[in-house]
């Protein structure tokens, strides 16, 4: 069995030596996820009420500007992502989980979760994925919330974590089987608690055992957050306030809110400057930047960038 090609970014590009590389050319981007990358699907469902634009949310996003997948898409095709309910390629829904909770006796909802989002895309594409497109998966925060709140339905905590990992892997296998060849997998975005670490480890361990044609670009939120707190200047950011929410302390001016120096817009979601930093890091990881980081020494593996397998590039 061949081993899945994983490229794992630890979000510390500043500690690595930049080297020139051909910029990758993608034909488009397909997004699956939760509120961190929802481009307006929940807004469509709620008639524009959620998220509330009067508070400063940007065009149906749960942040005050374009999110990082919007910026990736702008780099790829010149425009922000468009919600799937509006005919676009962003299938993310605020509130979505990895695990389908629609059948839970309590804490259930009909929000399309990961299986439904990927299934909707594959049904629309006739089961054939564009091999030259980028596929971005950002989903886990609501599962971590559910675990921390005991909202795992009929499953024990350990069973839920194992099921979540299995569903991530199964959907990546499905995309790979359909022809996807470049998949950006954002890591577990929940709090740095044992359950979050356990979920990420099970996902990565399971993926490494798969025989895949696609290259999986895995981004570590854990390392990103750690660096953001200790040295935000590496991402071109000032020190971030974690004690306040942007919407609570900054005014809305002409429909916009300046969240510079504040990590969260509302206590749950990233502010636009954080999304910009995520874009900078993920664009390097997937080859959209003109410079890519290379490890300066083996000792950087625990601190900086870990590359497993060979990175393919389609020169622009």
- Give CA–CA dist 175/177, Å, rounded: 5
Say if 281 falls within a structural domain: yes
Whole-angstrom CA distances from 296 to 70, 191, 292, 299 are 31, 30, 12, 8
**Residue 304: pLDDT band with limits 50, 70, 90:** very low
**Residue 312: pLDDT band with limits 50, 70, 90:** very low
pLDDT tens-digit profile of 146-202? 999 999 999 999 999 999 999 999 999 999 999 999 999 999 987 778 999 999 999
Q: Which tokens belong to 93?
A: 């829904």
Going by their DSSP bridges, the two strands 29-33 and 215-219 should be labelled as unpaired
Domain that holds residue 200: 5-30+64-79+116-308
39 contact partners, CB below 8 Å, separation of at least 6: 31, 59, 60, 61, 67, 69, 70, 80, 81, 82, 83, 88, 90, 92
3-state SS assignment for residue 95 = coil
Going by their DSSP bridges, the two strands 5-9 and 305-308 should be labelled as antiparallel
For residue 311, pLDDT beyond 60: no
Detail the DSSP E strand segments found in 35-168: 134-138
Whole-angstrom CA distances from 281 to 71, 139, 173, 211, 314 are 11, 18, 25, 27, 19
For residue 51, pLDDT beyond 80: yes
Say if 57 falls within a structural domain: no
Say if 39 falls within a structural domain: no
Peptide bond into 56 cis (omega under 30): no
pLDDT tens-digit profile of 273-296? 999 999 999 999 999 986 544 433
Q: Within 10 Å of residue 171's Cβ, how many Cβ atoms?
A: 22
Q: Where are the alpha helices (DSSP H) in 61-103?
A: 68-77
Say if 272 falls within a structural domain: yes
Say if 44 falls within a structural domain: no
Q: Backbone dihedral region of 48: left (phi > 0), alpha (psi from -120 to 50 degrees) or beta?
A: left
Total domain count, the chain: 1
Say if 24 falls within a structural domain: yes
B/e letters for 29-62, b = 16+ CB within 10 Å, e = fewer, are bbbbbbbbbbbbbbbbbeeeebbebeebbbebbb
Say if 59 falls within a structural domain: no
**Residue 32: pLDDT band with limits 50, 70, 90:** very high
Say if 106 falls within a structural domain: no
**Residue 23: pLDDT band with limits 50, 70, 90:** confident
pLDDT tens-digit profile of 72-118? 999 999 999 999 999 999 999 999 999 999 999 999 999 999 999 99
pLDDT tens-digit profile of 230-257? 999 999 999 999 999 999 999 999 999 9
Q: What's the mean per-residue pLDDT of the chain? A: 88
Q: Give the lowest-confidence range in 2-6, 57-61, 259-263, 302-306.
A: 302-306
């Amino acid at each position: 069995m061949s081993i899945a090609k994983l490229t794992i970014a630890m979000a510390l590009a500043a500690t690595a030596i930049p080297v020139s590389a051909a910029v990758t050319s993608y034909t488009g981007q397909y997004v699956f996820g939760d509120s961190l990358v929802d481009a307006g699907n929940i807004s469509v469902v709620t008639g524009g009420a959620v998220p509330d634009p009067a508070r400063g949310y940007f065009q149906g996003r749960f942040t005050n500007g374009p999110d990082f997948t919007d910026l990736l898409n702008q780099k790829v095709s010149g425009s922000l992502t468009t919600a799937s309910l509006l005919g676009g390629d962003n299938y993310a829904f605020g509130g979505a989980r990895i695990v389908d909770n629609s059948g839970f006796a309590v804490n259930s909802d009909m929000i399309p979760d990961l299986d439904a989002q990927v299934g909707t895309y594959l049904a629309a594409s006739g089961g054939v994925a564009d091999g030259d497109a980028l596929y971005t998966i950002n989903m886990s925060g609501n599962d971590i919330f559910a675990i921390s709140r005991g909202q795992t339905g009929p499953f024990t905590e350990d069973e839920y974590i194992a099921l979540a990992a299995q569903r991530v892997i199964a959907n990546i296998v499905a995309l790979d089987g359909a022809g996807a060849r470049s998949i950006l997998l954002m890591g577990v975005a929940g709090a740095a608690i044992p359950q979050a670490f356990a979920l990420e480890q099970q996902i990565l361990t399971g993926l490494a055992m798969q025989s895949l044609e696609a290259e999986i670009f895995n981004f570590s939120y854990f390392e990103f957050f750690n660096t953001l707190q200790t040295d935000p200047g590496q991402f071109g950011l000032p020190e971030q306030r974690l004690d306040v929410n942007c919407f609570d302390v900054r005014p809305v001016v002409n429909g916009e809110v300046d969240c510079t120096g504040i990590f969260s817009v509302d206590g749950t979601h990233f502010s636009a400057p954080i999304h910009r930093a995520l874009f900078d890091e993920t664009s390097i990881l997937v080859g959209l930047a003109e410079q890519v980081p290379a490890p300066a020494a083996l000792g950087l593996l625990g601190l900086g960038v870990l590359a497993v397998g060979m990175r393919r590039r389609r020169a622009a």
